[in-house]
Protein backbone atom coordinates (compact mmCIF):
# COMPACT_ATOMS: atom_id res chain seq x y z
CA UNK A 1 0.00 0.00 0.00
CA UNK A 2 2.85 2.41 0.83
CA UNK A 3 4.32 1.83 -2.64
CA UNK A 4 1.03 2.97 -4.22
CA UNK A 5 1.10 6.22 -2.25
CA UNK A 6 4.76 6.80 -3.18
CA UNK A 7 4.13 6.15 -6.88
CA UNK A 8 1.97 9.27 -7.04
CA UNK A 9 4.89 11.47 -5.96
CA UNK A 10 8.09 12.07 -7.92
CA UNK A 11 11.50 12.45 -6.27
CA UNK A 12 11.29 16.24 -5.84
CA UNK A 13 7.79 15.97 -4.35
CA UNK A 14 8.94 13.32 -1.86
CA UNK A 15 11.82 15.55 -0.81
CA UNK A 16 9.38 18.44 -0.45
CA UNK A 17 7.07 16.40 1.78
CA UNK A 18 10.02 15.33 3.91
CA UNK A 19 11.28 18.91 4.34
CA UNK A 20 7.83 20.20 5.20
CA UNK A 21 7.50 17.58 7.93
CA UNK A 22 10.91 18.43 9.40
CA UNK A 23 10.07 21.96 10.41
CA UNK A 24 11.70 25.24 9.38
CA UNK A 25 15.05 25.03 11.18
CA UNK A 26 15.87 21.46 10.19
CA UNK A 27 14.71 22.08 6.61
CA UNK A 28 17.10 25.04 6.38
CA UNK A 29 20.02 22.85 7.47
CA UNK A 30 19.18 20.25 4.81
CA UNK A 31 18.83 22.82 2.03
CA UNK A 32 22.30 24.21 2.83
CA UNK A 33 23.79 20.96 1.54
CA UNK A 34 21.89 20.81 -1.77
CA UNK A 35 23.12 22.07 -5.12
CA UNK A 36 21.47 24.91 -7.01
CA UNK A 37 19.35 22.74 -9.31
CA UNK A 38 18.17 20.53 -6.46
CA UNK A 39 17.17 23.56 -4.37
CA UNK A 40 15.21 24.93 -7.32
CA UNK A 41 13.44 21.63 -8.01
CA UNK A 42 12.60 20.94 -4.37
CA UNK A 43 11.55 24.55 -3.75
CA UNK A 44 9.21 24.47 -6.74
CA UNK A 45 7.74 21.18 -5.51
CA UNK A 46 7.24 22.60 -2.00
CA UNK A 47 5.40 25.62 -3.40
CA UNK A 48 3.15 23.45 -5.58
CA UNK A 49 2.27 20.79 -2.99
CA UNK A 50 -1.42 20.62 -2.21
CA UNK A 51 -3.61 18.13 -0.37
CA UNK A 52 -0.90 15.70 0.71
CA UNK A 53 -2.67 12.85 2.43
CA UNK A 54 -1.61 11.38 5.74
CA UNK A 55 -0.94 8.09 3.94
CA UNK A 56 1.41 9.78 1.43
CA UNK A 57 3.32 11.60 4.18
CA UNK A 58 3.67 8.38 6.18
CA UNK A 59 4.85 6.51 3.06
CA UNK A 60 7.52 9.16 2.36
CA UNK A 61 8.79 9.03 5.94
CA UNK A 62 8.82 5.22 5.99
CA UNK A 63 10.75 5.12 2.70
CA UNK A 64 13.24 7.70 3.99
CA UNK A 65 13.75 5.77 7.22
CA UNK A 66 14.44 2.52 5.35
CA UNK A 67 16.89 4.29 3.03
CA UNK A 68 18.79 5.87 5.93
CA UNK A 69 18.98 2.57 7.79
CA UNK A 70 20.72 1.04 4.76
CA UNK A 71 23.44 3.72 4.74
CA UNK A 72 26.77 3.54 6.54
CA UNK A 73 29.08 6.25 7.84
CA UNK A 74 31.57 5.45 5.05
CA UNK A 75 31.86 8.43 2.77
CA UNK A 76 31.22 11.07 5.43
CA UNK A 77 34.02 13.63 5.27
CA UNK A 78 35.53 11.81 2.30
CA UNK A 79 36.90 14.88 0.53
CA UNK A 80 39.06 16.04 3.44
CA UNK A 81 40.22 12.46 4.05
CA UNK A 82 41.33 12.12 0.40
CA UNK A 83 43.27 15.38 0.63
CA UNK A 84 45.10 14.33 3.79
CA UNK A 85 46.14 10.86 2.68
CA UNK A 86 47.30 12.01 -0.78
CA UNK A 87 49.32 14.92 0.58
CA UNK A 88 50.91 12.68 3.22
CA UNK A 89 51.68 10.00 0.64
CA UNK A 90 52.88 12.15 -2.28
CA UNK A 91 53.73 15.54 -0.84
CA UNK A 92 51.94 18.82 -1.50
CA UNK A 93 53.28 19.41 -5.02
CA UNK A 94 52.65 15.96 -6.47
CA UNK A 95 49.30 15.57 -4.75
CA UNK A 96 47.93 18.94 -5.80
CA UNK A 97 47.04 18.17 -9.42
CA UNK A 98 45.87 14.66 -8.55
CA UNK A 99 43.55 15.96 -5.84
CA UNK A 100 42.15 18.49 -8.27
CA UNK A 101 41.45 15.84 -10.91
CA UNK A 102 39.77 13.56 -8.37
CA UNK A 103 37.57 16.26 -6.90
CA UNK A 104 36.80 17.82 -10.30
CA UNK A 105 37.87 21.33 -9.59
CA UNK A 106 36.01 21.79 -6.31
CA UNK A 107 38.02 24.97 -5.71
CA UNK A 108 36.37 26.72 -8.66
CA UNK A 109 33.98 28.81 -6.60
CA UNK A 110 33.30 31.15 -9.49
CA UNK A 111 32.02 28.32 -11.64
CA UNK A 112 29.94 26.97 -8.76
CA UNK A 113 28.32 30.40 -8.50
CA UNK A 114 27.07 30.06 -12.08
CA UNK A 115 24.95 27.07 -11.03
CA UNK A 116 22.81 29.44 -8.98
CA UNK A 117 22.18 31.81 -11.89
CA UNK A 118 19.41 31.74 -14.49
CA UNK A 119 20.56 29.97 -17.65
CA UNK A 120 19.80 33.01 -19.81
CA UNK A 121 21.99 35.18 -17.56
CA UNK A 122 24.88 32.68 -17.83
CA UNK A 123 24.53 32.69 -21.62
CA UNK A 124 24.62 36.49 -21.69
CA UNK A 125 27.71 36.49 -19.49
CA UNK A 126 29.74 34.05 -21.59
CA UNK A 127 28.13 34.49 -25.01
CA UNK A 128 30.80 36.82 -26.37
CA UNK A 129 33.73 34.81 -25.03
CA UNK A 130 35.92 32.45 -27.05
CA UNK A 131 34.15 29.11 -27.74
CA UNK A 132 36.85 27.30 -25.76
CA UNK A 133 36.01 29.35 -22.68
CA UNK A 134 32.30 28.72 -23.23
CA UNK A 135 33.02 24.98 -23.49
CA UNK A 136 34.96 24.96 -20.21
CA UNK A 137 32.16 26.80 -18.40
CA UNK A 138 29.43 24.50 -19.75
CA UNK A 139 31.47 21.41 -18.90
CA UNK A 140 31.40 22.48 -15.24
CA UNK A 141 27.61 22.93 -15.15
CA UNK A 142 25.04 20.18 -14.67
CA UNK A 143 23.97 18.72 -18.01
CA UNK A 144 20.42 20.10 -17.89
CA UNK A 145 21.59 23.63 -17.08
CA UNK A 146 24.34 23.42 -19.71
CA UNK A 147 21.71 22.40 -22.26
CA UNK A 148 19.57 25.40 -21.34
CA UNK A 149 22.54 27.77 -21.62
CA UNK A 150 23.46 26.23 -24.99
CA UNK A 151 19.94 26.96 -26.26
CA UNK A 152 20.39 30.65 -25.44
CA UNK A 153 23.72 30.87 -27.29
CA UNK A 154 23.85 31.90 -30.98
CA UNK A 155 23.11 28.98 -33.29
CA UNK A 156 26.39 29.43 -35.16
CA UNK A 157 28.49 28.54 -32.08
CA UNK A 158 26.47 25.67 -30.57
CA UNK A 159 27.99 22.77 -32.51
CA UNK A 160 31.49 24.23 -32.11
CA UNK A 161 31.03 24.43 -28.33
CA UNK A 162 29.70 20.85 -28.07
CA UNK A 163 32.66 19.53 -30.09
CA UNK A 164 35.08 21.43 -27.85
CA UNK A 165 33.42 19.95 -24.76
CA UNK A 166 33.74 16.46 -26.25
CA UNK A 167 37.45 16.92 -26.94
CA UNK A 168 38.39 18.60 -23.64
CA UNK A 169 41.19 16.67 -21.97
CA UNK A 170 42.19 18.78 -19.01
CA UNK A 171 42.27 22.56 -19.16
CA UNK A 172 45.29 24.41 -20.46
CA UNK A 173 46.81 27.25 -18.39
CA UNK A 174 45.99 29.97 -20.94
CA UNK A 175 42.34 28.92 -21.03
CA UNK A 176 42.23 28.87 -17.24
CA UNK A 177 43.71 32.36 -17.17
CA UNK A 178 40.94 33.65 -19.45
CA UNK A 179 38.33 31.90 -17.34
CA UNK A 180 39.83 33.37 -14.17
CA UNK A 181 39.56 36.85 -15.66
CA UNK A 182 35.90 36.32 -16.55
CA UNK A 183 35.07 35.19 -13.06
CA UNK A 184 37.06 38.04 -11.52
CA UNK A 185 35.04 40.59 -13.52
CA UNK A 186 31.69 39.05 -12.70
CA UNK A 187 32.30 38.16 -9.06
CA UNK A 188 34.27 41.00 -7.51
CA UNK A 189 36.42 40.09 -4.58
CA UNK A 190 36.79 36.49 -5.66
CA UNK A 191 40.51 35.96 -6.15
CA UNK A 192 40.37 32.16 -6.34
CA UNK A 193 43.05 30.83 -8.66
CA UNK A 194 41.83 27.96 -10.78
CA UNK A 195 43.85 24.78 -10.91
CA UNK A 196 43.87 22.34 -13.78
CA UNK A 197 41.02 19.87 -13.63
CA UNK A 198 39.61 17.13 -15.81
CA UNK A 199 36.29 18.26 -17.25
CA UNK A 200 34.40 17.69 -20.48
CA UNK A 201 34.92 14.71 -22.75
CA UNK A 202 32.65 12.69 -25.00
CA UNK A 203 30.40 11.67 -22.12
CA UNK A 204 29.86 15.27 -20.99
CA UNK A 205 28.94 16.32 -24.52
CA UNK A 206 26.53 13.38 -24.85
CA UNK A 207 24.85 14.24 -21.53
CA UNK A 208 24.32 17.87 -22.58
CA UNK A 209 22.86 16.83 -25.94
CA UNK A 210 20.62 14.31 -24.18
CA UNK A 211 19.18 17.11 -22.07
CA UNK A 212 18.25 19.24 -25.11
CA UNK A 213 15.05 19.15 -27.12
CA UNK A 214 15.24 16.34 -29.67
CA UNK A 215 14.95 18.65 -32.68
CA UNK A 216 17.80 20.86 -31.44
CA UNK A 217 19.83 17.78 -30.49
CA UNK A 218 19.44 16.29 -33.99
CA UNK A 219 20.36 19.61 -35.56
CA UNK A 220 23.62 19.81 -33.61
CA UNK A 221 24.52 16.17 -34.23
CA UNK A 222 24.07 16.71 -37.97
CA UNK A 223 26.54 19.60 -37.91
CA UNK A 224 29.03 17.68 -35.75
CA UNK A 225 28.87 14.64 -38.05
CA UNK A 226 29.58 16.83 -41.07
CA UNK A 227 32.63 18.40 -39.39
CA UNK A 228 34.01 15.27 -37.71
CA UNK A 229 32.20 11.98 -38.38
CA UNK A 230 34.38 9.99 -35.95
CA UNK A 231 33.73 12.42 -33.10
CA UNK A 232 30.02 12.40 -33.90
CA UNK A 233 29.97 8.61 -33.75
CA UNK A 234 31.74 8.53 -30.37
CA UNK A 235 29.27 11.04 -28.94
CA UNK A 236 26.30 9.17 -30.43
CA UNK A 237 27.45 5.90 -28.85
CA UNK A 238 27.37 7.53 -25.41
CA UNK A 239 23.98 9.16 -25.83
CA UNK A 240 21.11 7.50 -24.00
CA UNK A 241 17.65 7.90 -25.54
CA UNK A 242 14.24 6.98 -24.15
CA UNK A 243 13.93 3.73 -26.09
CA UNK A 244 17.21 2.57 -24.52
CA UNK A 245 15.32 2.21 -21.22
CA UNK A 246 14.21 -1.19 -22.53
CA UNK A 247 17.77 -2.39 -21.84
CA UNK A 248 17.63 -1.59 -18.10
CA UNK A 249 17.80 -4.52 -15.73
CA UNK A 250 14.62 -5.13 -13.72
CA UNK A 251 15.99 -3.73 -10.44
CA UNK A 252 17.08 -0.49 -12.13
CA UNK A 253 13.73 -0.12 -13.89
CA UNK A 254 11.82 -0.60 -10.64
CA UNK A 255 13.99 2.01 -8.90
CA UNK A 256 13.44 4.45 -11.77
CA UNK A 257 9.67 3.95 -11.79
CA UNK A 258 9.50 4.86 -8.09
CA UNK A 259 10.87 8.31 -8.97
CA UNK A 260 8.51 9.04 -11.87
CA UNK A 261 4.94 10.30 -11.62
CA UNK A 262 2.29 8.29 -13.46
CA UNK A 263 1.10 11.39 -15.29
CA UNK A 264 4.52 12.08 -16.86
CA UNK A 265 5.04 8.41 -17.62
CA UNK A 266 1.76 8.20 -19.57
CA UNK A 267 2.73 11.18 -21.74
CA UNK A 268 6.25 9.82 -22.34
CA UNK A 269 4.94 6.39 -23.36
CA UNK A 270 2.62 7.89 -25.99
CA UNK A 271 5.65 8.18 -28.27
CA UNK A 272 7.66 5.14 -27.19
CA UNK A 273 8.53 1.84 -28.81
CA UNK A 274 6.55 -1.28 -27.74
CA UNK A 275 9.69 -2.74 -26.14
CA UNK A 276 9.92 0.10 -23.63
CA UNK A 277 6.25 -0.22 -22.72
CA UNK A 278 6.50 -3.97 -22.16
CA UNK A 279 9.64 -3.52 -20.04
CA UNK A 280 7.80 -1.02 -17.84
CA UNK A 281 4.64 -3.14 -17.58
CA UNK A 282 6.75 -6.16 -16.58
CA UNK A 283 8.26 -4.25 -13.68
CA UNK A 284 4.97 -3.07 -12.18
CA UNK A 285 2.36 -4.90 -10.19
CA UNK A 286 -0.44 -6.36 -12.34
CA UNK A 287 -2.91 -3.82 -10.98
CA UNK A 288 -0.56 -0.87 -11.61
CA UNK A 289 0.26 -2.15 -15.12
CA UNK A 290 -3.44 -2.55 -15.97
CA UNK A 291 -4.16 0.97 -14.70
CA UNK A 292 -1.29 2.34 -16.81
CA UNK A 293 -2.59 0.55 -19.92
CA UNK A 294 -6.04 2.04 -19.29
CA UNK A 295 -4.54 5.52 -18.87
CA UNK A 296 -2.71 5.15 -22.18
CA UNK A 297 -5.85 4.04 -23.98
CA UNK A 298 -8.02 6.91 -22.74
CA UNK A 299 -5.34 9.55 -23.12
CA UNK A 300 -6.15 11.76 -26.07
CA UNK A 301 -3.69 13.08 -28.68
CA UNK A 302 -0.54 14.61 -27.20
CA UNK A 303 1.74 17.11 -28.91
CA UNK A 304 5.12 15.69 -29.92
CA UNK A 305 6.81 18.50 -28.00
CA UNK A 306 5.01 17.40 -24.81
CA UNK A 307 6.02 13.77 -25.34
CA UNK A 308 9.62 14.83 -25.95
CA UNK A 309 9.66 16.98 -22.80
CA UNK A 310 8.27 14.13 -20.67
CA UNK A 311 10.80 11.66 -22.08
CA UNK A 312 13.68 14.08 -21.45
CA UNK A 313 12.45 14.60 -17.90
CA UNK A 314 12.44 10.84 -17.25
CA UNK A 315 15.90 10.47 -18.82
CA UNK A 316 17.18 13.24 -16.53
CA UNK A 317 15.87 11.28 -13.53
CA UNK A 318 17.54 8.13 -14.87
CA UNK A 319 20.91 9.90 -15.25
CA UNK A 320 20.61 11.37 -11.76
CA UNK A 321 19.94 7.94 -10.26
CA UNK A 322 22.80 6.45 -12.29
CA UNK A 323 25.21 9.17 -11.13
CA UNK A 324 24.18 8.36 -7.55
CA UNK A 325 24.92 4.67 -8.16
CA UNK A 326 21.29 3.64 -7.58
CA UNK A 327 20.71 2.24 -11.08
CA UNK A 328 22.76 1.08 -14.05
CA UNK A 329 21.96 2.51 -17.47
CA UNK A 330 24.11 -0.14 -19.14
CA UNK A 331 22.84 -2.49 -21.75
CA UNK A 332 24.78 -5.72 -22.02
CA UNK A 333 27.21 -4.62 -19.33
CA UNK A 334 28.08 -1.33 -21.06
CA UNK A 335 27.53 1.81 -18.95
CA UNK A 336 26.12 4.89 -20.63
CA UNK A 337 26.81 7.36 -17.84
Overall size of the chain counted in residues = 337
3-state helix, strand, coil in the chain (%, to 5): 70, 0, 30
pLDDT of residue 91: 66
pLDDT band at 156 (very low <50, low <70, confident <90, very high): confident
Greater confidence (316 vs 198) lies with 316
pLDDT of residue 13: 81
Q: How many CA atoms lie within 13 A of 126 on its CB side?
A: 31
The lowest-confidence range among 54-63, 120-129, 151-160 is 54-63
Greater confidence (36 vs 269) lies with 269
pLDDT band at 280 (very low <50, low <70, confident <90, very high): very high
Neighbour-count burial for 246-270, b at 16+ CB within 10 Å, e otherwise? bbbeeebbbbbbbbbbeebbbbbbb
Beta bridge pairs of residue 185: none
Nearest-angstrom CA–CA distance, 163 and 184: 27
Nearest-angstrom CA–CA distance, 330 and 236: 15
Distance of CA 287 to the CA centre of its chain: 31
Spatial contact of 194 and 180, defined as CB atoms under 8 Å apart: yes
pLDDT of residue 111: 62
Nearest-angstrom CA–CA distance, 67 and 170: 37
Nearest-angstrom CA–CA distance, 227 and 199: 22
Nearest-angstrom CA–CA distance, 71 and 281: 30
CA-based nearest residue to 158, from 123, 125, 183: 123
pLDDT of residue 194: 40
Whether 274 shows a pLDDT value over 70: the answer reads yes
Whether 64 shows a pLDDT value over 50: the answer reads yes
Whether 49 shows a pLDDT value over 50: the answer reads yes
Q: At what angle do helices 155-166 and 202-210 cross, to 10 degrees?
A: 140
pLDDT of residue 145: 86
pTM score, whole prediction: 0.46
Residue 177 φ/ψ region, left for φ over 0, alpha for ψ in the -120 to 50 degree band, beta for the rest: alpha
pLDDT of residue 330: 59
pLDDT of residue 282: 92
Nearest-angstrom CA–CA distance, 187 and 182: 9
The lowest-confidence range among 67-71, 109-113, 175-179, 188-192 is 188-192
Most confident of 102-111, 235-244, 254-263: 254-263
The lowest-confidence range among 253-257, 285-289, 300-304, 322-326 is 322-326
Q: In whole numbers, what is the pLDDT of the chain averaged over residues? A: 75
The lowest-confidence range among 136-140, 198-202, 279-283, 318-322 is 198-202
Q: What is the pLDDT of residues 77-91, one digit of tens each?
A: 566 666 676 677 666
Whether 137 shows a pLDDT value over 50: the answer reads yes
Q: What is the pLDDT of residues 181-203, one digit of tens each?
A: 666 566 544 334 444 445 667 87
SS3 state at 210:
helix
The lowest-confidence range among 198-202, 240-244, 311-315 is 198-202
pLDDT of residue 332: 37
Q: Mean of the pLDDT values across residues 268-274?
A: 86
pLDDT of residue 184: 58
CA-based nearest residue to 317, from 11, 15, 39: 11
Give 334's DSSP letter.
Answer: B
Greater confidence (235 vs 90) lies with 235
pLDDT of residue 68: 66
pLDDT of residue 105: 44
Amino acid sequence: MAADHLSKLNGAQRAAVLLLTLGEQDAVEVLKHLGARDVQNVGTAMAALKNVSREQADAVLDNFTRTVEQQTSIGVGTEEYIRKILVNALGEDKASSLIDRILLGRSTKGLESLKWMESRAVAEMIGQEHPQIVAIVLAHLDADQAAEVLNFLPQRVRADVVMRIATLDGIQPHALHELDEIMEKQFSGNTTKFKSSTVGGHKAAANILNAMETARENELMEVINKVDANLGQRIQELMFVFDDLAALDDRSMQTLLRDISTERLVIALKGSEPGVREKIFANMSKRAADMLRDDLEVKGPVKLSEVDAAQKEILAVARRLADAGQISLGGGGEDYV
